[in-house]
Chain A
Amino acid sequence: MSNTRFAIIALLVGAVLAVACQFIQNDYFFNAAYTVLLYAILSTAWNILGGYTGYVNFGTAAFFAIGVYSSIVLYKAFHLPLGLLIMAGTVIAGVAGIGLGYLTLRLRGHFFAIATLALAVMLFTFVTNWDYAGGARGAYVLVPREVPFGFPRYIRYLFTVMVGLTVLAIIVARMIERSRLGQGLAAIRDDELAAECAGVPTLRLKLIATALSGGMMGLAGTTFPFFISFVEPVGAFDLRYAVNAIAMPVIGGMTTWLGPLLGAVLLGTVQQLVQVTISSAWNLLIVGVLLVGFVTLAPEGIMGWVLAWRARRSKPT
């Protein structure tokens, strides 16, 4: 399927989904669905670097928080409309991705992972001490009284925006997968030295991957202040973003765009259900158990399972 065709189909599916959901009466559904979509974007973003390129990033929360705080600051300073805030946050997080890449991409394997963790800690300290952005106390973001486009509630509007952003993220991820860039990234993942010998410009491709991945994580964060309306550093840098962004692609499967989406929808939904029925304290525990289960029993994730099953079926026995 060509990129254009896939994009059209994805946009259509997104539009149908967004419209169909408007018929749901319960507003809480939109809260839950927003969170699931947030994770879908985060895990799609993480997978560009973690799945396609093989570089594990523990700093998801840092890029996410860059998106969150860029929206807070720019909204407070200039009252920019949501569309511009989304673009600004994405670009800033993308630039941060390039910066992180320049400093750390010469490191391989574990060392890169540790460096990304350090980035999150550094930014956390910075934001905690930044008074204009609310510092340790946190910042309130007042949701505009007028809901755009005649949506009855602001959360319904945010949810619809999030559906659009998720579709966008998935289209980008799939385009990368099928491109020469994706081919080069896969070569880096399989054997970086061999990729270098083959003339793959490894550093440049890795920088592109961190920029895209980081920018997309920022994108996920840009609408968050309007969703939660009160942001403080501990919440914005929460461990669950980094953990979920890794767990969801691992559970779904890391080699295709569908894997992170599947993982996010499944794991995200389970977490939302557990949060309502039992307690949110269980969420990370569930992630942990599922992660251990999948890594030991199905290391290729759900998609790997499906692909293996299809290969078995197509082979005449």
Chain B
Amino acid sequence: MANEQHTAQADMPTPGERSPDARGGASLRVEGVSAGYGAVQVLQHVSLEVTDGRTVALLGTNGNGKSTLMKCIMGMVTPSSGRISATIDGVEHDLVGLPTERIVDLGIALVPEGRRLFPRLTVEENLLLGAYRPAARSAIARNLDFCFEAFPRLHERRTQLAGSMSGGEQQMVALARALMTVPRILLIDEPSVGLAPIFVSRTIDKIAELKERYRLTVLMAEQNFNQAIRIADSGHVIVHGHLEFHGRTRAELSDNDMVRKLYLGA
């Protein structure tokens, strides 16, 4: 098995270097998307854009539609109207109507809320499942090395059952598993949920580090406002399925009255 992998490796991309020169960037555009479950309307005419190499935060408390938007982008929920497209290396792809595995194939990965690891598999097996798609499979050994390089701790624990790890470590596995799909655009849904404060800031730091290292375009849904804006280039505040405010810069976000009202109770 090892031999097969090594022969196919040479021309395959890794999370880090999908030949940086040839890269035309990766961006994501959501235009007027409405979506819901049955009669319940969750998203109402949401539009946002994540341009190449930026980190955009989607801020809002529970139940305002952050996860639904993520699921719409990944093709797990079909919007009732609107358009979602990704431009990767100069080619525009319409995402609505594509099955999730095709969207993953394009280079878009989601780290789901609550991490959603395979608890009865080891860390390494979890990561290998991340490379299920054919493009990622052929470079599997090299990508695994990359992930372990980015997360040295996971290398130490690679034979441990994922379900027996701490929340912070599980979040690292979830991030690493997403990296195994060789994404260009990374969607992260509530990375801080259920984590101790120290792990929250570590996770957020790690996301920033990964973004730099792998030149990712990141859309991150988060309720922890203070942590999210540490690394976000810009942000949207979502309230009851509406994007109520767009902060073009970090300063604009933290100075906004509505943000203050929503988050600081003032």
Contacts and interface: CB of A to CB of B under 8 A. Distances in A.
B101 to A, nearest CB: 4
Contacts of B116: 191, 193-194, 197
Interface string B124-159: 000001101100100000000000000000000000
A196 interface: yes
B112 A198 contact: no
A199 B130 contact: yes
A228 interface: no
B218 interface: no
B119 A200 contact: no
A59 B136 CA distance: 37
Given A184-B132, A187-B129, A199-B133, A193 B112 contact: yes
Contact of B118 (A194, A199, A204): A194
Given A194-B112, A197-B74, A183 B129 contact: yes
A155 to B, nearest CB: 44
B104 A197 contact: yes
A190 B121 CA distance: 10
Interface in B162-198: 177-178, 180-181
Contacts of B132: 180, 183-184, 187, 195, 198-200
Contacts of B69: none
B185 to A, nearest CB: 13
Interface in B71-127: 74, 76, 99-101, 104-105, 109-112, 116-121
Contact of A197 (B105, B120, B178): B178
Most chain A CB neighbours (cut-off 10 Å) among B99, B100, B121: B100
A194 B178 CA distance: 10
Interface string A168-210: 0000000000001001100100110111111111111000000
A198 B76 contact: no
Task: Categorize the interface residue count of chain A.
Answer: 10 to 19
A74 to B, nearest CB: 36
Contacts of B118: 187, 190-191, 194
Contacts of A201: 99, 101
B111 A197 contact: yes
Given A187-B129, A190-B118, A191-B118, A197 B112 contact: yes
B133 to A, nearest CB: 4
B100 to A, nearest CB: 5
B128 to A, nearest CB: 8
Contacts of B181: 198-199
Given A190-B120, A193-B76, A194-B118, A200 B99 contact: no
Nearest to B109: A197
Contacts of B180: 198
Contacts of B133: 199
Nearest to A183: B129
A69 B4 CA distance: 47
A196 B118 CA distance: 12
Given A194-B117, A198-B177, A203 B99 contact: yes
B69 to A, nearest CB: 15
A207 to B, nearest CB: 12
Contacts of B129: 183, 187, 195, 198, 200
26 contacts: A180-B132, A183-B129, A183-B132, A187-B129, A191-B118, A193-B76, A193-B116, A194-B116, A195-B129, A196-B74, A196-B101, A197-B104, A197-B110, A197-B111, A197-B112, A198-B104, A198-B129, A198-B132, A198-B181, A199-B105, A199-B130, A199-B133, A200-B132, A201-B101, A202-B101, A203-B99
Given A197-B116, A200-B101, A201-B99, 18 more contacts: A180-B132, A183-B129, A187-B132, A190-B118, A190-B119, A194-B112, A197-B100, A197-B109, A197-B110, A198-B104, A198-B129, A198-B132, A198-B180, A199-B100, A199-B101, A199-B109, A199-B132, A203-B99
8 smallest beta-carbon distances between A and B, as pairs: A199-B104, A199-B133, A194-B116, A201-B101, A196-B100, A190-B118, A200-B132, A198-B130
